[in-house]
Chain A
Amino acid sequence: MQQPIDGVLEAPYVMEYTYRRSLGPVMSAFFTALRDGRLLGARTASGKLVVPPLEWDPETGAAIAGLEPVAEEGVVTAATWVAAPEARHLLQEPFAYALIQLDGASTAMLHAVACASLEACPVGTRVKLVWSESRTGSLRDIRCFEPVK
Chain B
Amino acid sequence: MKTLLINALLILSLFASAPVLAQDEPLRVGMSGQYFPFTFVEQDELKGFEVDVMNALGDQLGRSIQYETANFSGLFGMLEAGRIDTVANQITITAERQQAYVFSEPYVYDGAQVVIKKGNTEVQGVEDLKGKTVAVNLGSNFEALLRELPYADQINIKTYESNLERDTALGRVDAFVMDRVSASQIIKEKPLPLALAGPPFSQITNAYPFRDTEAGRALRDQINQALAALRDNGTLASISEKWFGTDITQP
> Does B bind A?
no
